[in-house]
Structure 1
Amino acid sequence: MTEHEGTRNAERTRRAVLDAAVEVLAERGTAATVQHIATAAGLSKGGLLHHFPDRDALLYAVAEDHLERFRLRVLNLVDLSENRPGKVLRAYVRALCGSDSSLLAEYGTFSGIWPALEKVPGVQTLSDEDNDSWFTLFEQDGLDPDRILVVRYAAEGLAIAHSYDANVSTRVLERARTVLLGLIDKQAD
C-alpha cells in the first residue's frame, strides 16, 4: 500500500466515523458512547480511538465538520454574477429554504444533536466563532446588520421547523425563500 492509499483509507475511516457519530447521536442523544459509534462505523473501539483520542475529541470533530461542510455548501451556492449586495446571504437563504433535501435533512439532524455537542469543551467557542464569521461575511457583502439578523434567523428557523413540522413543507419553504430573498434586495427606507 502506498502512502497515498493509506491517507485515503484514513480519510475514509474518519468520514465513516463522523457520519456514524451523527447517526448515533441522533438516535441516542447524550447516551451515545464511543463503543456505539465505533460499532455503527464498523470499527472496534480501539480502531475509533486511533483516529480520535476520546469522546470529546470525536464530538468536537463532528461539530467542526458540520460547520465546515455547511459553510462550503452555502458558498458553493453564491452566484458571482449577482452584481448587488447580499450575494452570500442570498446563497444562505437558498441553502436553508431550497429544495436540497439532503442539506435540509442534515441541518434538521444537527439542530437535534447540537445540545449534546455544545456541552463538549471548545464547541461553544467554535460555534460562536462560526456565527461571528457568518455575520462578518454578510456585512462585508454590503448589507444592513438588522436586515441580516432578521433574514438569517428566519431562514434558520424555517429550516429547523421543516425537520419536525409537517406544515413547513418544501412548498412553504419555496414561498418563504421568495419572501426572504425579497427582503434582502429591498432598498432601505
Structure 2
Amino acid sequence: MTRTRNPELTRVTLLDAAATVLKDLGAGLSLDAVAKEAGVSKGGLLHHFPSREALLNALALRLLEQFRARVAAALEAELTAHGPQPGAWARAYIAASFDPRAEEEAIYAVMQTLAVQADVLAAWQATETELMAAAETDGLPLGRAHAIRLACDGLCLSHAPAAYFDAVREELIRWTR
C-alpha cells in the first residue's frame, strides 16, 4: 500500500502538537516533545521546521492569523445582527479578545519573546497597523476606540480572575454604544 503524504496536514499537526507542548511545558518546549506529541520522528519535524525557532515562529504567525480570523468572523456576525453602526468593529474585537481559547492563553506569554524575530515582528506590525486602522474607522471617538483595543490586549495577557474579565468586557461593550 502506498502511503500518501500531505505536507500541509503534517505542518498543521506539528503546530497543534507544539501548541499543546508549549501549553504544558512553557518555554521548556523541546523538539523531541513536539515530535512525540505529533507522532512523527524528530527528523520528520525537522524536515518541516529546521529549528525550534522556526517552529515557534510558525506557531506565532498562526496565532496572529487565527486572531485576525476571529475578529473578522465576529465583525461579520455583528454586521449581520446590527448593521454597520459605530462601534461594530470594537464590539467584534472585544468578542474575539474575550473568546476563551484555553490553548492560546499559555502560549501568548511565550510568544511575546518571539516578537524580536524578523518575520514574526513584521507580521505583528502588519497586524497592529491593520487593527489600528480598523479602530480608527469604526465610528467611535479615536481615543475610546484605541482604549478599547489596548484594554483587550492588556487584559488578555494578564492573569486576572474570570470575574475581572467579565466586568471589564461588559464595561468595554458599554463604551461601544
Q: TM-score, normalised by structure 1?
A: 0.77
**Aligned-partner Cα distance in 2 for 1:29–1:179:** 32
**Aligned-partner Cα distance in 1 for 2:85–2:10:** 42
Structure 1 unaligned segments of length 5 or more: list them.
Answer: none
2:166 alignment partner AA: E
CA contact (8 A) 1:67 1:130 kept: yes
Residues 94-173 of structure 1: pairs in structure 2 closer than 5 A: 94-97=95-98, 100-101=99-100, 103=101, 105-161=102-158, 164-165=159-160, 168-169=161-162, 171-173=163-165
The CA RMSD measured in Å over matched residues stands at 2.4
CA apart distance, 1:183: 1.2
CA apart distance, 1:127: 1.3
CA apart distance, 1:135: 0.8
1:111 alignment partner AA: Y
Match of 1:40 among 29, 37, 41: 37
Match of 1:63 among 60, 66, 75: 60
The reply on whether 1:25 has 2:49 as its aligned counterpart is no
CA contact (8 A) 1:26 1:112 kept: no
CA apart distance, 1:86: 2.1
CA contact (8 A) 2:115 2:121 kept: yes
Q: Deviations over 1:16-49 (max 9, x none)?
A: 2111112223344444232222122111111112
Q: Deviations over 1:41-89 (max 9, x none)?
A: 1111111122223333222211110000111112111111333122121
1:64 alignment partner AA: L
Q: Is the partner of 1:137 in helix, strand or coil?
A: helix
Structure 2 unaligned segments of length 5 or more: list them.
Answer: none
CA contact (8 A) 1:56 1:121 kept: no
CA apart distance, 1:159: 2.5
Aligned length: 172
Q: Percent identity?
A: 35
Q: TM-score, normalised by structure 2?
A: 0.82
Runs (4 or more) in structure 1 with deviation over 6 Å come to none
1:82 alignment partner AA: G
